[in-house]
Amino acid sequence: MPELPEVERARLLIHSNFLNKAIVDVETVVDDIVYQGCTNQEFATKVKGRTLVDTGRRGKVFYLILDQHPCPVLHLGMTGSVRIKGQAGLEYKDFSTAGDDWPPRFYKFVIRFDDGQELAFTDMRRLARIRLVDGDPLLHPPISELGFDPLLSMPDLDVFSETVRKRKCPIKALLLDQAFSAGVGNWVADEVLFQARVHPAQNTVSLTDAELAALHDQLSFVIKTAVAVNADSSKFPNDWLFHYRWGKGRVTNREAKMPDGSNIKFETVAGRTTAIVPAVQKLHGNTIIGRRKNKTKSELKEEDTGASHPDAAEEVPIKGNGRKRIKVERDQDIADVESSPRTTRRKRIVKQEITSPEAAEFKPPAKSKRLRTPIKKEEPQTSSTATPRRHSTRSHTLKQAIKMEPLDPVVVERPVDAATSSIVSAFGHPIPDFPSVDLEDADDMIKLFQQVV
């Protein structure tokens, strides 16, 4: 991906070839993804007839200042480039824009100037962006949302250190954040961290003063050095990591090494493939990974003491950069499940223990629409129990109460009235079969039945 040095090279190419020249014609192609906030036809209409009076850049975004607004604001994306007819295209490490065809392949616009020269903007993956901005481009998005430019507006060490320590993330993630340092991409970040001897995954809050000073110096040094040679990688210093980081995974470069023999290790940090030299880049202090492991241990301790919910999942330490969580069931939870009796609705064994006729608070089994097994008695009375029918739970209970031997039979002082007789008959048992008890009135009889039932 073109980073600050490559974008600056593209800007300089336009500035040195087309400054103060008039645009006589514009050819565009339809692309609703690359053109943002305007169509290709609107771009051609508003740019044609204007004169290029200046160019500018912040981070990876550059713009053309015309004699009248609006101004074209351009971003090269992953594979964007600018070409001048009759000149060699810009060469990148990951891809090439060279070719003799004109207009070149994947072009989005071709601008023709009054001296006959032509400028083309190309993009193979359609990740570039073309916008028209009214007014000062520095005061409008996307440029207004960018951080400092390491080449144009590098902050002093105190401001830099204070800004870094306000964030809590891997240092490489911060360097790649365009709202922090505009223009820093993957290879620039890796080079800066290698030259500063700082591990890319080092937490920003744990950086020492010496490491912050080294990062500040090397960020400025790497950018200025690359721009000074017009982003020509063949002219980069020989001890730069840049020369030895490419070709990862190929047979010829499977074991990448530095000139002194130090191994180059490739890891994923901040979502990007990262080249690390473990011999000089070491993690220390409170890293992001360390905090995650400590948190997991505290959660395990909380679960052992029963402070957390028993059904809560245990989060195991996360390895690498994956974020997959695994639910681990504890042995105690499994034991609790195994030890608990299994209840089903198909079979319910009802146990009835009758030790004496004094069991006044006898509670019948719960209602169920399914057949029950025969009632078991540990000390059966004179009569055996029968299997209750599906619809006669209360009748069965009453039969058991009727067949119990009374303790102190007494004589009924007055005959049972018709209301009481009807209540007894409702259960299918005549009055003479019911034990004689001393009743004051029919209300007592009803209360007795309610207690039994």
Q: CA-CA distance, 185 to 349, in Å (whole number)?
A: 73
Q: Which of 5, 6, 8, 60 is catalytic?
A: 60
Crossing angle of helices 442-452/393-402, nearest 10°? Answer: 110
Q: β-pairing, 107-113 with 118-123?
A: antiparallel
Contact 73, 137 (CB under 8 A): yes
Alpha-carbon distance values, 14 to 20, 21, 25, 209 (Å): 11, 11, 17, 41
**SS3 for 227-245, per residue?**
HHCCCCHHHCCCCCHHHHC
276's enclosing H/E stretch is: strand 272-276
Q: CA-CA distance, 30 to 136, in Å (whole number)?
A: 27
Q: Which among 419, 369, 367 is positioned nearest to 397, based on CA atoms? A: 367
Q: Which two tokens stand for residue 448?
A: 């007795």
Q: CA-CA distance, 233 to 9, in Å (whole number)?
A: 12
Q: CA-CA distance, 42 to 37, in Å (whole number)?
A: 10
Q: Which of 3, 8, 191, 211 is catalytic?
A: 3
Find where tokens 């400025």 sit: 220
Helices (H), 19-165: 40-47, 157-165
SS3 269: strand
Question: Has 2 been annotated as catalytic?
Answer: yes
Q: Which of 2, 104, 142, 170 is catalytic?
A: 2
Q: Which two tokens stand for residue 15?
A: 């500035």
Residue positions annotated with a catalytic role: 2-3, 60
